[in-house]
A and B are shown apart, each in its own frame.
Chain A
Amino acid sequence: MISVQNLSYVTAGKRILDDLSLDIAPGQVTALIGPNGAGKSTLLALMARLLRPDNGRITLDGLDVHRTATADIAKRLAILRQEQAPLGRLTVRDLVAFGRFPHHRGRPTAEDHLKIDTALDQLALSDLAGRFVDTLSGGQKQRVLIAMVLCQNTDVVLLDEPLNNLDPAQVRVVMDAVDHMARDLGKTVIVVLHDLNHAARHATRVIALKHGRLFAEGPAGSVLAETPLSQLYETAFDVLTHNARPMVVAR
């Protein structure tokens, strides 16, 4: 379980997170929503020890993520970020295979290769396995990165806006993988989403941040309602019901 305690983060004189405390329910998909600049991506980066907090701490199963050896955390927690660092001449399989690195530290076993094949299969990438990553479309590349995270086979998976610039068919493949991780594999998935309907469709719980503070938290149905959403984004919403799930429409 992930627990955030009194977390503060300041950069360039701006307070991004302000004394934030929250717990993440294990074994479920939790969506992180909020207006731009609310601190969602920063929170994810802090959880994944990519940044150091100015105050407070984050624990994962009781381990402080910033004080535990990074190699140990990598076996328990995986993150997918919107990172611009280019990926050189790597094939799809090579890149996905890196997901196993925390477990074998450079010497893959037969079991690792099996896990790589399974992950490729899960994301419908088997046909692309030999292609170079820099020849793929944005959606295909995103699927490769999800497969890499799946391969890492950690209890906790953090996804930062995994649906950016994807067409509806690609969104479906990615979100199916997310559902699969939580429902079939019992992983804790925390995903930053901008499209509230994706949150409504896939998340069990929703956490809303605003100005670096916790704004609302609870089951998807209670947070994705007209009053909290209108206050959160300071714009009016209608919330309809579609297939027994909330559907959010901007008014």
Chain B
Amino acid sequence: MPVRRLIVLAILTVLACVLFLTWGARGDMGFVLQFRGGKLLSLLTVAAAIALSTMLFQTVTGNRILTPSIMGFDALFLLIQTALVWTLGGSRFAGLDPMWKFAAESLVMMAAALALFGTLLGRGRTDLNRMILTGVVLGIGLRSLTALLQRLIDPNEFAVVQSASFARFNRLEQDGLLAALCIVGLCALAVWRMRETLDVVELGRERSIGLGVDHDRIVIKILLIVAALVSVSTALAGPAVFVGLLVVSLTRAILPSHRHAILLPCATLIAALLLVLGQTLFERVLSMQSTLSVAIEFLGGLVFLFLIMRSRRS
């Protein structure tokens, strides 16, 4: 049953991709496919990064409302980027080899995430209120720090930073696409190899230790993977706070399963379907009159409010 739904989802996703590549294509097909293909690949990479990072984060926090973005992970990434521009200068920043820049940023991001969130997730997971509060405060702190740095740099360099600070599915960065693909691929492989262990981790710290899972080490590992994935999605598409939540909530509604072997591919497919279909719609039907990120963030925000209301009632 879950497998059949997974197959249907996969077929729908492939159809959406074909639609995205061919709808309204005129002129030299080779050029169109190359142009749109790059864009499609970035969309899919972002979709996988968002879906996997959110699902993993919820597993490790044992919580259905929190996402890495709500906890300020992407704010952390923006701070790192701004700090880079601030220290290197805009032109040298833009001149960096995208591959190396990306790898370095991801590494710094992973170290910083571990330092900031490592202790919080280990001990604080039972106290949801404290986690949300800390996350929100941390997010505000990181964003304010970013704003301060942006004020300190000169206007030209600010333009470089600014283009990275908004969610944008219309013009995804394609410079670091190869690096991004590698990172997401490696993360997905690592996650897939511990899919059964993740089922146990979801039972909580004490139960998973009782079942022979080295919980503290797994939490650190997942945190590192989440940080790497968030740096990919933020670098390619900018910060998007509620997309992940929308995707994961849809996944849990469509496929009520506890097995990560089902949940993870399902979430990835739903994210891909949502982004590719949405982008096709906004580009071809609404002819860029509106932005996909706004629509998705609006929906995701509603889901967030709904989840909060529901958890208050129960």
Contact = CB atoms under 8 A, between A and B. Distances in A.
B118 interface: no
A74 B207 contact: no
Contacts of B206: 50, 79, 81, 83, 85
A94 B212 contact: no
Interface stretch (A32-40, A97-105, A220-228, A240-248): A97-105
B212 A74 contact: yes
Interface of B: 62, 126, 195-197, 199-200, 202-207, 209-214, 256, 258
A146 interface: no
Main secondary structure of the interface of A (DSSP, over half): loop
Most A-side CB within 10 Å, residue of B203, B212, B214: B212
Contacts of B195: 106
B210 A94 contact: no
Given A106-B196, A106-B197, A88 B202 contact: yes
A23 B214 CA distance: 27
Contacts of B205: 50, 85
Contacts of B258: 88-90, 94
A232 interface: no
Given A88-B258, A94-B258, A105-B196, A83 B207 contact: yes
B126 A84 contact: yes
A87 interface: yes
B256 A74 contact: no
A232 B195 CA distance: 49
A89 B262 CA distance: 14
A50 B209 contact: yes
Contacts of B199: 98, 106
Contacts of B209: 48-50, 70
B239 to A, nearest CB: 28
B211 A102 contact: yes
Contacts of A28: none
B214 A71 contact: yes
A30 interface: no
B52 to A, nearest CB: 19
A155 B225 CA distance: 37
A152 interface: yes
Contacts of A83: 204, 206-207
Contact of B210 (A74, A86, A90, A105): A74
Contacts of B202: 88
Contact of A86 (B62, B213, B256): B62
A81 B197 CA distance: 20
B207 A70 contact: no
A95 B248 CA distance: 22
Interface residues of A, number: 30
A75 interface: yes
Contacts of A70: 209, 212-214
13 contacts: A75-B212, A79-B206, A79-B210, A81-B210, A83-B204, A85-B62, A85-B205, A88-B202, A98-B203, A101-B212, A102-B212, A106-B196, A152-B211
Contacts of A94: 258
Interface in A49-92: 49-50, 69-75, 78-79, 81, 83-90
A81 B208 CA distance: 12
The residue among A81, A106, A107 with the most chain B CB atoms within 10 A of its own CB is A106
A162 to B, nearest CB: 14
Which of B62, B206, B214, B256 has its CB near the most chain A CB atoms (within 10 A)?
A: B206
A48 B197 CA distance: 19
Contacts of B210: 48, 50, 74, 78-79, 81
Contacts of A88: 202, 258
A49 B206 CA distance: 9
A70 B126 CA distance: 22
A87 B256 contact: no
Given A50-B209, A101-B196, A102-B211, 13 more contacts: A50-B210, A69-B214, A70-B209, A70-B212, A73-B212, A79-B206, A89-B258, A98-B211, A99-B211, A101-B200, A101-B213, A102-B212, A106-B196
Given A105-B196, A106-B196, A152-B211, A89 B204 contact: no
Contacts of A74: 210-212
B212 A71 contact: yes
B42 to A, nearest CB: 33
